[in-house]
Amino acid sequence: MELKEKLKILADSAKYDVSCSSSGSKRKGDLGNTSFSGICHSFSADGRCISLLKILLTNCCIYDCKYCLNRQSNNIKRVIFTPEEICYITINFYKRNYIEGLFLSSGIIKSPDYTMNLIIETITLLRRKYHFGGYIHAKAIPGCSEYLVKKLGLLVDRLSANIELPTEKGIKLLAPNKNFGNTEKIMGYVKNNKSNKFVPAGQSTQMIIGATHESDLDIMQKSENMYNNFKLKRVFYSAYIPVNKDNLLPTFEKPPLIREHRLYQADWLLRYYGFKTNDLLDDQHVNFNLLIDPKANWALNHLQEFPKDINKCSYYDLLKVPGIGVTSAKRIMKSRQHFQITFKDLKNMGVVLKRAKYFITCSGKYFIDKTFFNKNFIEANLVLEDKQKSNPSRKQLSFFNE
Amino acid sequence: MNNIYLYQDDFISLLNLINYLIKNKIKPDNIKPLSYCPTLLDEVINLKIEPTNNVIDFIIKIGNNKIFNIIYYVFLSDNENKELIIYYFYLNLLKYQTNIIYMRNLRCVTKALKIAKYVGNEAHRLKGFVRFQKLEHDIYYAEIAPNNNVLFLVSKHFKRRLKNEYWLIKDVKRKILSIYDKKDFYLIDEDNFQINDLKVAQEENDIKNMWKEFYDTIAIKERHNERCRMNFMPKKYWKYIIEMSDE
Ligand code: SF4
């Protein structure tokens, strides 16, 4: 078989893993280095960043996860890369600046340990024989021996294991051969051993959204719990795309992209804005409002805490304002030591004024008559704003409304 | 009449001129490189100031490296009024020193920061979008046509990344080449270098096709989103990105 054809098959099966980042590592080699902030080399037709050669080592698998193209019971063409083939493609792509490095995952062939050994052999070859200093993100195979995780972790920049679903019940239903605990065991090991030499760029994981009935609350609680317990760099959310027919799986025409988007927004709020899952969702509201982003939704439900005065309120108060991010909040804190900030200045600080203006005053002044400061007015305007927004979510929003 | 002060096209000369103007309390209507074509309303003045590096040390002393970089990035930009923006930025730098970057109520500051960011973003984007072709004799060759003059910044990146390869990057718009000899890179005028007789390496087509195959495969069709792709990878770059150049 031609190498190109193999590449097509093994990239096709790897593409549902959404992690693409190439940041967080400071590595140098005879060939290549990593960029601490990460670099996107291209963007695919779905608008996702391409930074790594994302492939599986093989699409053979002894497991039968319901949602997966490579499950044992699917009748598809099975192929496997040799370690030299992977090195050849990686090095040649890298030297032409197509990619930032390699993302290597795999179906489980023979056993977790056997598969891990193949992955380790490949990456050892890349690092030792070809002196490759670019970025490598490898997937650890849950259920493998601990010493193999250790070995692989010393070769790569990022090591991760996908949790796939937020609850054990979900895993039992859709991935009957998998063991929830095995994935967390890898995460625990990586967390305890992380250093400049071992998995320097940290670990991440991924959850599939919408393949089971688990709620956003289930998902966010799991994320929060993993951030706290395993110091994950990122949790990725991947809207489920029906690749198999199975009566255990939902059928829908379009993947739940808005829901995915809301989860990413909420995830940011957990990581950078000091929010907790319980601030955003509770037993009465187990799913996010699809019409309004989680931060604005929170602000509308806590309107008694607003408006915040830009020239007086604390840093943490600024972060609570929709339309103000971490960078702009810091800028405001610095700038207001030198002058009184007006609405006009805020635009120059990266604040999204068309969202923020409803929730702030500048030296006591509201942007229009203060009698408009009420929930109905603000909510209606925010929703309208979102609908008009000429960004990618517009299409998603409108299909949801139909 | 408009008083237009001229500098010798390069960054150091510009800084020296601005420094001189400010010291002598001269307020220029504009500042332009020697190549500038004056209009009937222009009075061009060429002071022929001897450039020294002291002014760089001075900027870093009253400001810091970050502030110096902002000024440098503005200089690299394609903005028509960049010299005047630098003049006013410099003027305010003397007053506010390191605090200048927080003075976002001043037009010259917000402008300079915006332009510097635009230049920095383009340089960063190109670190990803540059596509090398392998030529005979193991030479890697790429062409770019950026809006801003970022060849130097891009070359700095590849000096570290592809340090054991010979490479060339050509800025097609400005007709400059960056040539790397496994030790350092040099920026030279296109006219002073012949590359026409270099042929593409034998395996080049196979690798290119594999990459295109990968590129087409990795997209999830259920998530197709053209607008999003264009946002991140504007069309103006497509010509030199091989997976896009046939689209
Ligand atoms: S283990 Fe499950 S998810 Fe992974 S390749 Fe095999 S079937 Fe697919």
- Which among A11, A43, A348 has the least Cβ separation from residue B233? A43
Mutating which of B92, B104, B115, B242 best tests the A interface, going by the most A Cβ atoms within 10 A? B104
What would the two tokens of residue A185 be? 């065991």
CB A66 less than 6 A from any atom of ligand 1: no
How many Å lie between the centroid of ligand 1 and the Cα of residue A130? 30
Q: Which of B225, B240, B245, B246 has the highest number of chain A CBs within 10 A, making it the mutation to test binding with A?
A: B225
pLDDT, mean of residues B10-14? 95
Does the pLDDT value for residue A394 go beyond 50?
A: no
Q: Read off the pLDDT band of A389 (50, 70, 90).
A: low
Q: Which two three-digit tokens encode residue A141?
A: 């195979």
For B106-115, write each residue's pLDDT tens digit: 999 999 999 9
Q: Does ligand 1 have an atom closer than 6 angstroms to the CB of A71? A: yes
Percent of chain B with pLDDT over 90: 81
Candidate of A71, A164, A244 to mutate for ligand 1, largest count of ligand atoms within 8 Å of Cβ: A71
Q: Does residue A393 surpass a pLDDT of 70?
A: no
For A196-219, b/e burial (b = at least 16 CB within 10 A) is: eebbbbbbbbbbbbbbbebbbbbb
Which residue bears the tokens 């003075």? B103
**Span A297-318, pLDDT tens digits:** 999 999 999 999 999 999 999 9
User: Taking residues B193-217, what's their average pLDDT?
Assistant: 89
Q: Which residues of B touch A31 (CB under 8 A)?
A: 162, 164
Q: By alpha-carbon position, which residue is closest to atom 7 of ligand 1?
A: A71
What CA–CA distance (Å, rounded) separates B34 from B7? 6
* Residue of chain B whose Cα is closest to the Cα of A240: B222
Average pLDDT, chain A: 91
Q: Are B144 and B127 in contact (CB under 8 A)?
A: no
pLDDT in tens, A249-259: 887 778 899 99
CB A34 within 8 A of CB A134: yes
Q: Is B200 on the interface with A (CB under 8 A)?
A: no
CA distances from A231 to A191, A194, B93 (A): 7, 10, 42
Contact A129, A87 (CB under 8 A): yes
Would you call the peptide bond into A307 cis, given omega within 30 degrees of 0 as the criterion? yes
For range A208-218, the mean pLDDT? 93
Percent of chain A with pLDDT over 90: 81
CA dist A331 and A334 (Å) reads 5
ipTM of predicted assembly, 2 dp: 0.94
Average pLDDT of the residues in B129-144: 95
DSSP-derived pairing of the beta strands B139-144 and B133-135: antiparallel
* Fold category of A3-280 in CATH: TIM Barrel (3.20.20)
Q: State which of A57, A59, A61 you would mutate to test the pocket of ligand 1, scoring each by most atoms of that ligand within 8 A of its C-beta.
A: A61
Beta partners for B171? B144, B176
Cα angle B28, B32, B38; round to 5: 95
Q: Where are the alpha helices (DSSP H) in A125-202?
A: 146-153, 168-174, 180-193
B69-79 pLDDT, tens digit per residue, is 999 999 999 99
- Given a cut of 50, whether residue A168 has pLDDT beyond it is yes
Each domain of chain A, given as residue ranges in start order, spans 3-280, 294-389
Look at residue B31 and tell me whether its pLDDT is greater than 50.
Answer: yes
CB atoms within 10 A of CB A239: 23
What residue segments make up the domains of chain B, in order of their start? 2-122, 130-244
Task: Judge whether residue A384 has pLDDT over 80.
Answer: yes
Whether B82 has a pLDDT exceeding 90, the answer reads yes
- Give the model's pLDDT for residue A8: 97
Q: Quote the pLDDT of residue A402.
A: 26
Cα(A61)–Cα(A77) distance, rounded to whole angstroms?
12
Provide, as residue numbers in chain A, all residues whose Cβ is less than 8 Å from the Cβ of B215.
42, 44, 50
Token digits for A258?
């808005």
Mean of pLDDT over chain B: 93
Among B102, B124, B244, select the one facing A334 at the smallest CB separation. B102
CB contacts of A255 in chain B (<8 Å) are 222-223
Q: What per-residue confidence (pLDDT) applies to A315? A: 95
Question: Does the structure show a pLDDT above 80 at B194?
Answer: no
**Coil, helix or strand at residue A207:** strand
Cβ–Cβ gap B102/A98 under 8 Å:
no
| pTM for this prediction | 0.92
Whether residue B232 and residue A349 make contact (CB cut-off 8 A), yes or no, is no
pLDDT exceeds 50 at position A397: no
Size of interface A-B (CB pairs under 8 A): 152
**Given this model, what pLDDT does residue A388 score?**
65
Q: What tens digit of pLDDT does each residue of A101-152 get?
A: 999 999 999 999 999 999 999 999 999 999 999 999 999 999 999 999 999 9
Q: Which residue, among A99, A130, A92, A116, has the nearest Cα to A4 in the 3D structure? A: A92
The per-residue pLDDT for A399 is 33
Mean pLDDT of B114-132: 97
